[in-house]
Structure 1
Amino acid sequence: MSPILSITLAFLGTPVAHPPATFRFDPAHTGSITGVSAGAYGGMRWRIQTEGTVRSTPAEYDGTVYIGAGDGRVRAIDALTGSIMWQRDVDAPVTSSPAVTAREVVVVTQDGRVVALDRQKGEPIWNYKIGPDAPVWQGINGDYWTSSATVSGDVAYVGGGNGDVIALDVHSGTRKWKFHAPTRFHTTPAVANGMVYLGGFDGVFYAIGAETGILKWSYRTLGATLDSSKFGFDRKTIQSSAAVSEGKVYFGARDGLLYCLNARTGAFVWSYDHVMSWVNTSPAVADGVVYAGSSDKRFLQAVNAETGKEIWRVPTGLMWTSPAVAGSEVFSTDGDGRFIAFDRKTGARKWEIARTGQIWTSPFLSGDHGIFGSDDGGIYCFKLDSHGPIARAVYWDDAERTHTLSKFPAVRDALVKRGYQLLNNAGLADFFRARTADHRPSAVVMATGFFPEAAPFEAAKSYMAAGGKVVWCGIPPKMWPIEKTGQIDMADIDWDGTRQLMGVQPRTIFDSLATTPTPTGQAWGLHGMWLSDFAADPSTVTQVLAKDDHGFAAVWVKSFGGAPGSGFVRMSGMSLPEGPQFIDMLVNVAETFPGV
């Protein structure tokens, strides 16, 4: 064998080095990530429904997303398609963020165990019992998360609710050392400069030798001197996980302060006062700027990393999650159920995704997509589009008399609140023409029961062929000619009208039938069970997103040659006319453009 061939074969047999995937993107927890495509919100790629809340922040390794959930399962999901590669029940809720190596997926469970699963198959490798949580003041709330494991080299560092900080061999689970303090640790350790940094519920911040487990220094925050019972709410706990950058360590605390300390000595550098509003977020640090959120004051701020002087501040919902920096944006999630992109320099809001469920996972981004979990039990993956944001609109015209269903005003108002452009007759015609010309990913929800003369179905058909989507939640078009009279008359039923218009054959009218989503419908964001009406013959549609208990297509897609996710979608929700579940599922369906 020639020397060149030997070298080539040896190279091909060597796995490509891949750093561990961990909370906040790196062991130092800077919250800053590279390699993310610049772009705006390009719609949803997929959604997965779990059986619990999802407060675990995901991690991604080699194209696979790993995430825990309140149903006690850890899932491995293909980032492009949303296919579940495996799921493993670990017998307790998981709110920690997985730490992922070439072989292991390490999670910390709510009952105080560190569990390592095989990355490829999800099979258990080892299990380490930390112990029960140490007692704390009974008035503490919002203690949603355990520590996540931070992997650096071959060691996983974990903070324990029993007061232990442990270093475990990531491959075997063997303990290398243990540090103990009389407190509870639920923050995730940051590892840098040969030290492990984390704060406790006692208001003390600790720096521990990464090799030895010996305390290097500690810092008592203002909260360490306070009696929470005198305030009626917790002012002592450090829930924020620290970020380490350029010789400094940054963290927040429930005493209302954002702190900066010397990372080597623990000496105080500066603090920023949020005036008693908790600073639970783990700060993100990039290019000399610290980004942090505020709890009850409800804002995201940018602060000079050297001086602590505020650069800008923007309003948000309740912020307990941690911002992330990628490219020219800083991203946040909040308790109002939003994933928001801000301009890093000015704080200007660029775009947002809104859902009903509160979001307690921190923003995660990778490549051309982002992922978040929600208290609605969903795991969402959205696309970043370099060509601009998805165009979202809702049609409603006050001059028309044929808004015959009570849910139409609720649909209009809910979607406008979520940033959808409100279109009248002329606006709808303009929208169809513009999107037909530019092929921009787009969706228009029709809060009506007909196509107006200014934008007839032929215009909509050209729009859908160019990649647009029409979402319809009324009676199938042309089944009743209500645009002529404004009234529904049983004698006017035309069972063949929808088929002649678009090739879809209705099969039922007012029957209330139990409906559940298909696997494709689940990926589009449908979940649960509801009652539907006006189902269609499944053989006459392109995709069936939900079936009723007669096997008819209750939610369906009719394609007109556009890209995946485009076409005409009929969304039925007879039992959910104005509720948040219907609105959320309507938005999911409107904004989903699957990966290919």
Structure 2
Amino acid sequence: MKRTYLIAVIIILFGIKSSAVFGQQEKKRTANVFQNRVFKGDKHMPLGNLKWAVKTSGKIFSSPVVYDGVLYIGSEDGNLYAIDEKTGKTHWKFKTGGAVHSSPAVFKNTVYIGSFDGYYYAIDTKTGRVKWKFKTGGEKWFGEIGYLGFKPVDQYMDDLWDFFLSSPVINPDDKNPRIFFGSSDGNVYALNANTGELKWKFEAKGSIHCSPVLYKNTLYIGSWDANMYAIDAETGKMRWKFETGTQLGFKGIESTVVAANDMVYFGARDPFIFALHAETGKLVWKYDAANSWIISSAVVANDVLYVGTSDTFELLALDAKNGKELYKFKTSGYVYSSPAIAGDTAYFGDFTGNFFAVSTKSSGKEWNSFSTESRKLSAPEILNNDLLDFSYAANGGDFLFYDVNKTVMDQFYKLGSIVSSPFISNNTVYFGSADGNCYAIGLQNKK
């Protein structure tokens, strides 16, 4: 939803106005999209040709990971897919009892994933069979009665922009491997990665749909309660918490942190991007995102922070040391996809179904893109001068009503919206789309 319209709703109803942890994955040890979004490379590599696309039966909000030649990704059709990296052939799929919006993590011969059926699963990478499963207190979209002041005020409403479930992160200790994840039940869980045995849980005051990041034996994770938590990975005890804004319509953390140079960086709905000292949680700087929710998770490369914005439709490049804006790249819609960096290129998608490769050395002036087939078919009808426009898509509907907002979002999804974050392997970039496809696009070796 356009934040400008959200502000109007609130006014009407209430009178209220580099040394980074994200390194290239260690070969045959672990793979996790939120621990590995800086990939090897030394130049700008534009998008080349489509290699393959695998069609699932539901929207894809999950982000892919590639491990030992196999790509793993979840779908809203309830399946986790294991796909051959080179050919696009599906090796197996594992059926859960709910939509799979979580992104997979892989350790040795096991892939871990969460589902809306309320379970987190450990699945054998070779056979696709479950090793163990752990039941949380329940997984669901965040929501409230009369959410954001929408009408009717007595109706329970899911948040239409809450796309994800928490994705697992692994501590790959051979003697004591652990898996960590958050839950809609408000807990952060630590399990034995081999057995699924509960080691500890930490209770926040709201649902947790972003993913934990493990940095120097501390877990960093945000919550819909608007707090960022630092938790001792061994004991589950809180080290510190940092509170973001809590005003109506601008509350909650969906963004996963990036940790680099003893700092943690993340965005919130309040709407700011924050840089905190990793050890103490003290604020170092914050960037005003101009009433634009930050749902995209940041990545840091060469002391530059890259992150997408919601209603300003931008990829931001900020100085990681002081938060100064270096440049910004404008797209046609919300940027909820979290960027990946390889060499001198930032890769990410937008909500209109465009996927971009932007040269970081050119300050965003050199780029190319790939459009989903859904976008090509639906853009003339849905977009306004090739831009996402909530009022235009509402076609006269009153966006004070929840059902009008839901109808508009369903229209946008017809574009093949990209909220999945890319993974890069062997000169190929992989990502999912709301059109149900997982895409593999080759990268050009530019001379």
TM class by shorter chain equals: 0.7 to 0.9
* Structure 2 CA distance for aligned equivalents of residues 333 and 277 of structure 1: 17
Matching of residue 370 in structure 1 with residue 429 in structure 2: yes
Match of 1:45 in 2: 51
Of residues 149, 158, 163 in structure 2, which corresponds to 1:144?
163
Of residues 168, 180, 184 in structure 2, which corresponds to 1:161?
184
* Map 1:90-101 → 2, pairs under 5 A: 90-101=96-107
* Structure 1 CA distance for aligned equivalents of residues 29 and 43 of structure 2: 20
Q: Letter of the aligned partner of 1:19 in structure 2?
A: R
Q: CA contact under 8 A between 1:36 and 1:367: conserved in structure 2?
A: no
* Structure 1 CA distance for aligned equivalents of residues 432 and 315 of structure 2: 20
Q: CA contact under 8 A between 2:42 and 2:342: conserved in structure 1?
A: yes
Matching of residue 322 in structure 1 with residue 338 in structure 2: yes
Q: Which has the higher contact order (CA 8 A, sep 6+)?
A: 2
* Structure 2 CA distance for aligned equivalents of residues 336 and 310 of structure 1: 25
Q: CA contact under 8 A between 1:37 and 1:367: conserved in structure 2?
A: no
**Structure number with higher helix proportion:** 1
Of residues 349, 365, 385 in structure 2, which corresponds to 1:348?
365
* Structure 2 CA distance for aligned equivalents of residues 103 and 176 of structure 1: 21
Task: Give per-residue Cα distances to partners, 1:170-209, cap 9 Å, x unaligned.
Answer: 1111111111122110010011011000111011110000
Q: CA contact under 8 A between 1:25 and 1:33: conserved in structure 2?
A: no
* Map 1:4-83 → 2, pairs under 5 A: 18-26=28-36, 31-34=37-40, 39-83=45-89
Q: CA RMSD in A?
A: 1.7
Percent identity reads: 35
Match of 2:253 in 1: 238
* Cα offset, 1:297, TM superposition: 1.0
Matching of residue 338 in structure 1 with residue 357 in structure 2: no
Kindly tell me: are residues 240 and 17 of structure 1, through their superposed partners in 2, closer, same or farther at Cα, counting changes over 3 Å?
A: closer
* Cα offset, 1:18, TM superposition: 2.0
Q: CA contact under 8 A between 1:321 and 1:361: conserved in structure 2?
A: yes
Tell which deviates more after alignment, 361-370 or 122-131: 361-370
Task: Give per-residue Cα distances to partners, 1:346-393, cap 9 Å, x unaligned.
Answer: 1224211011211121122112101111111111111112157xxxxx
* Structure 2 CA distance for aligned equivalents of residues 189 and 367 of structure 1: 27
TM-score, normalised relative to structure 2: 0.78
* Cα offset, 1:112, TM superposition: 2.4
Match of 2:312 in 1: 297
Match of 1:584 in 2: none
Aligned length: 361
Q: CA contact under 8 A between 1:160 and 1:186: conserved in structure 2?
A: yes
Q: Letter of the aligned partner of 1:374 in structure 2?
A: S
Q: Which has the larger radius of gyration?
A: 1
Task: Give per-residue Cα distances to partners, 1:411-450, cap 9 Å, x unaligned.
Answer: xxxxxxxxxxxxxxxxxxxxxxxxxxxxxxxxxxxxxxxx
* Structure 1 CA distance for aligned equivalents of residues 200 and 417 of structure 2: 38
* Map 1:102-141 → 2, pairs under 5 A: 102-133=108-139, 136-138=143-145, 139=147, 140-141=159-160
Match of 1:400 in 2: none
Q: CA contact under 8 A between 1:136 and 1:201: conserved in structure 2?
A: no
Structure 1 unmatched ranges of 5 or more: 1-15, 229-233, 389-596
Of residues 202, 207, 210 in structure 2, which corresponds to 1:187?
210
* Cα offset, 1:37, TM superposition: 8.5
Q: What is the SS of the residue equivalent to 1:271? A: strand
Match of 1:358 in 2: 417
Task: Give per-residue Cα distances to partners, 1:451-496, cap 9 Å, x unaligned.
Answer: xxxxxxxxxxxxxxxxxxxxxxxxxxxxxxxxxxxxxxxxxxxxxx
Task: Give per-residue Cα distances to partners, 1:241-280, cap 9 Å, x unaligned.
Answer: 0000001000000011000000000001110001211011
Match of 1:465 in 2: none
**Structure number with higher strand proportion:** 2
* Cα offset, 1:133, TM superposition: 4.8
Q: What is the SS of the residue equivalent to 1:171? A: coil
Q: Letter of the aligned partner of 2:368 in structure 1?
A: W
* Structure 1 CA distance for aligned equivalents of residues 352 and 89 of structure 2: 28
* Structure 1 CA distance for aligned equivalents of residues 443 and 143 of structure 2: 42
Match of 2:198 in 1: 175
